[in-house]
Structure 1
Amino acid sequence: MFASGIRCPACGRSYPLAPRWRCACLGNLEIQFDYRGIRKRLRASPLRGRAWTHDRYRDFFPVHSLVTLGEGCTPLLPGRNMGKELGLSLFFKNESANPTASFKDRGSAVEVGAAVEARAQRVVCASTGNMGASVAAYAAVAGLHCTVYVPADARVTKLRQIQAAGAKLVRVRGGYTRAAALAEARSPRSFLLGDYLYRREGTKSVGYELAEQLQPAWVIVPVGNGVLMAAVWKAFREFRDLGLLRRLPRLIAVQAAGSSTVADALLKHHTLHRLAHARTVALAIEVDFPLDGLLARQAVEESRGFAVTVTDREILRARDLLLRREGLFAEPAGAAGLAGLLKIHDRLPQGSRVACLVTGHGLKDPFPAARRQ
């Protein structure tokens, strides 16, 4: 393992490598690595000689071993029909092919692995649904007692998936931010899982795979808490610095108009602000204040990308088009990236190689209804 320490991106404070979720300044933390050690390991054991599994990126994870259900290495599907219509070389990264049908499994493999290495007996997390379902499944494999706090408006299909894995479900009044506060309050008694430092490191593998599968010029990322955006950008930078990626892609952040903290900060050039109450049909990206908002914003800025907001109606239209034109059934949050692309495709050079992340399966939220925004 090449993890070497912990640093706060907000204030720069450093900590030794040990389970910790917040800086003294209350900022989200980031794990640092010994890249010289990783470079040496890759010379001895190149990626091209490793099996096409999540574990091929083990040198970039902050745990000695993963708790795995076969996550990662998801299909990259050519969007032949929509790409032709938009004048782009378009590909969809189908994250709904993960074991619990969303990209969350990548982070859970590392997070639950960290809990096992810390000899935890209990884990706790907050979730709008997908993370809870993922954590519950991985905790079950590891033999850990799991508690999941969810907002009152979480989808029933996702709650049933959480309960079916044996987790304790606690519904709270309020949104995701309230649920996260309650989960954090339990962290002295349980190993806290969620959109924190360990999950980001597991989620990086999306970026590694895109670098190996495509080397895209543009990557379109739906943004809720911002962890996926921050993780993908960190992965690209790591591969670039190690000579595994020729050129960094530019990132496009897509947020729902009713949950647009990161996009607003980028579009209006101000600091991140807390929404009074986020509201969108895409519940998986409905967040009052994103835990990884700072790093997500930095990722877009450093990549020379941009942000776009989409309405619920645009999200649901994109969801229908994705299934009818490309055969992919996505939940609303999973189609948000395409909704953003449909809105800004004329800003991209014709023929650009574009990867659009489809983050979760439509069966997780099969009958959404647009909300007023």
Structure 2
Amino acid sequence: MHVKSLQCYHCGKKYPRSHLVYHCSCGGSFEIIYDYSHLKKHLTWRELRKRSFNHWRYKEFYPFLKEDKIVTLKEGATPLVESALEKDLWFKNETLNPTGSFKDRGSTIEISQALSQKAKRVICASTGNMGASVAAYSARAKLPCTIVMPRVVHAPEKIAQMKHFKAKIITVPGDYAAAEKHAYMLYQKKGSYLVGDYCYRGEGEKSIGFEILDQMKNVDFVFCPIGNGTLISGLWKAMKELKKVGLVKKLPQLMGVQALGCNTVVKAWKEGKKIKKVIPKTLASAIACGNPLDGEKAVHAFFESQGKGILVSDKEILSAQHRMQQQGLDVEPSGAVAYAGYLKIKPKGKCIALATGHGLKCIK
């Protein structure tokens, strides 16, 4: 087994790898630490590329799972689509995942973990995409599923997806933070297996980072939307892990893009201060997380990769969405956020923008 421990990102406290907790006693989020010296001795690109190109090509970098407990819908292996309008730009088309968003990468790990832990049911807080994904993978695993959503989010298409997979949906007043709090309360009361933007989801979503560096050499910039910060921090963790085991030397700069009406992470990065909760006001509902669980990790990803945070208005997001549609890529507003950030600064070099959610998830 390649997992050494769980470690709090904030205070550094370590927990046994079998410990089922969601937050450190200090309130910080976890990272999973692997035995990189062992992996360095045994992993090569030649060995990895003998395997099928999919999410599970990089299985040594995921938490230990029993083979018969893996729940998969063949997620990952999404293409890099060259831009028809900009030079040296490619879109990582995550809309081609089974439920139409990158969230499936995290769900395959989390629901597989739930089965491995002999869970009887799962519960998740979501603004839409994660709920749809968790519902699909729970259905595949034959696990009853409850999704807690903030009442302020208007996401009929995503709710329809959840209902297709027979998920129970609970709506609560307030924003995503209120939904997350309610889901945690239900988990404590009823003993459901809690899934969401915790360390195991980040371990799944980081596979985008593995694939990017597997698909293309010498990438200079990766543009990534920010909601809870789990995606961009997982992306950076994956890239650092490939460097630790000697598979890559040069890492790209990460450009975190956030909606102006939910500017928690980028504001903290710009001001050099702690993240402060806000009430989200943006049409990009999939990233409307006013109290990001992995915000601290996201800020660190900017600094460590020598990247930056970028704020984009709803008008800029819609413009980017329309520009992607002109190129044959149908994304929801949140799926165009990374591209909106690219259009704002257009750096010189090889760039990748994540297209995170399908346009059919938000038809207006």
Correspondent of 1:237 among 240, 246, 260: 240
* Contact 2:224/2:338 (<8 A) preserved: yes
Match in the other structure for 1:334 = 335
What is the correspondence of 1:134-149 to structure 2 with a 5 Å cutoff?
134-149=133-148
* Contact 1:63/1:110 (<8 A) preserved: no
Q: Normalising by structure 2, report the TM-score.
A: 0.95
| 1:103 paired to 2:105 | no
Match in the other structure for 2:311 = 309
Note the C-alpha offset of 1:72: 0.4
Match in the other structure for 1:42 = 43
Q: Residues 312 and 43 from structure 1, CA distance in 2 versus in 1: closer, same or farther, beyond 3 angstroms?
A: closer
Counterpart-to-counterpart distance in 2, 1:319 and 1:104 = 20
* Contact 1:129/1:154 (<8 A) preserved: no
Match in the other structure for 2:355 = 358
Secondary structure of residue in 2 paired with 1:7: strand
Q: Residues 19 and 312 from structure 1, CA distance in 2 versus in 1: closer, same or farther, beyond 3 angstroms?
A: same
Q: Residues 13 and 76 from structure 1, CA distance in 2 versus in 1: closer, same or farther, beyond 3 angstroms?
A: same
Counterpart-to-counterpart distance in 2, 1:21 and 1:329 = 35
Task: State how many pairs are aligned.
Answer: 356
Render the CA deviation track for 1:340-368: whole Å, top value 9, x for unaligned: 111111xx22xx1001000000000121x
Counterpart-to-counterpart distance in 1, 2:44 and 2:290 = 44
Counterpart-to-counterpart distance in 1, 2:27 and 2:85 = 43
Question: Relative to structure 2, which stretch is displaced further, 42-51 or 327-336?
Answer: 42-51
Note the C-alpha offset of 1:43: 5.2
Match in the other structure for 1:73 = 77
* Contact 2:40/2:246 (<8 A) preserved: no
Match in the other structure for 1:62 = 63
Match in the other structure for 1:371 = none
One-letter identity of the residue aligned with 1:172? V
Counterpart-to-counterpart distance in 1, 2:42 and 2:187 = 35
Secondary structure of residue in 1 paired with 2:162: helix
Secondary structure of residue in 2 paired with 1:231: helix
Render the CA deviation track for 1:162-201: whole Å, top value 9, x for unaligned: 1110110001111100000011112231111000000000
Note the C-alpha offset of 1:42: 1.7
Counterpart-to-counterpart distance in 1, 2:45 and 2:314 = 49
Counterpart-to-counterpart distance in 1, 2:154 and 2:3 = 35
Secondary structure of residue in 2 paired with 1:270: coil
Where do 5+ consecutive residues of structure 2 fail to align?
Answer: none
Note the C-alpha offset of 1:202: 0.5
* Contact 1:225/1:285 (<8 A) preserved: yes
Note the C-alpha offset of 1:271: 1.3
Match in the other structure for 1:170 = 170
One-letter identity of the residue aligned with 2:78? T
Match in the other structure for 1:53 = 54
Q: Normalising by structure 1, report the TM-score.
A: 0.93
Where do 5+ consecutive residues of structure 1 fail to align?
Answer: 368-373
* Contact 2:239/2:251 (<8 A) preserved: yes
Match in the other structure for 2:263 = 260
* Contact 2:265/2:299 (<8 A) preserved: yes
Counterpart-to-counterpart distance in 2, 1:6 and 1:327 = 42
Counterpart-to-counterpart distance in 2, 1:44 and 1:129 = 36
| 1:115 paired to 2:114 | yes
Note the C-alpha offset of 1:68: 0.3
One-letter identity of the residue aligned with 1:194? G
* Contact 1:230/1:292 (<8 A) preserved: yes
Secondary structure of residue in 2 paired with 1:46: helix
Counterpart-to-counterpart distance in 2, 1:186 and 1:102 = 26
Render the CA deviation track for 1:224-264: whole Å, top value 9, x for unaligned: 00001000000000111112122010010100000110110
Secondary structure of residue in 2 paired with 1:36: helix
Structure 1 residue runs of 4+, over 6 Å off?
none
Counterpart-to-counterpart distance in 1, 2:253 and 2:294 = 19
Counterpart-to-counterpart distance in 1, 2:342 and 2:354 = 11
Note the C-alpha offset of 1:288: 1.0
Counterpart-to-counterpart distance in 2, 1:130 and 1:44 = 32
| 1:19 paired to 2:20 | yes
* Contact 1:222/1:357 (<8 A) preserved: yes
Note the C-alpha offset of 1:133: 0.2
One-letter identity of the residue aligned with 1:27? G
Match in the other structure for 2:230 = 227
Question: Relative to structure 2, which stretch is displaced further, 265-274 or 66-75?
Answer: 265-274
Counterpart-to-counterpart distance in 2, 1:229 and 1:162 = 25
Render the CA deviation track for 1:49-87: whole Å, top value 9, x for unaligned: 1111211111111032431001001011111x2213xxx
Counterpart-to-counterpart distance in 1, 2:35 and 2:304 = 22
* Contact 2:37/2:245 (<8 A) preserved: no
Note the C-alpha offset of 1:130: 0.1
Give the % identical residues: 43
* Contact 1:63/1:113 (<8 A) preserved: no
Note the C-alpha offset of 1:154: 3.4
Counterpart-to-counterpart distance in 1, 2:336 and 2:46 = 37
Question: Relative to structure 2, which stretch is displaced further, 22-31 or 90-99?
Answer: 22-31
Correspondent of 1:207 among 192, 209, 216: 209
Secondary structure of residue in 1 paired with 2:77: coil
Correspondent of 2:276 among 248, 254, 273: 273
Secondary structure of residue in 2 paired with 1:115: helix
* RMSD of aligned residue pairs (Cα, Å): 1.3
Match in the other structure for 1:182 = 182
Secondary structure of residue in 1 paired with 2:258: strand
Secondary structure of residue in 2 paired with 1:82: coil
Counterpart-to-counterpart distance in 1, 2:60 and 2:102 = 20
Q: Residues 43 and 207 from structure 1, CA distance in 2 versus in 1: closer, same or farther, beyond 3 angstroms?
A: closer
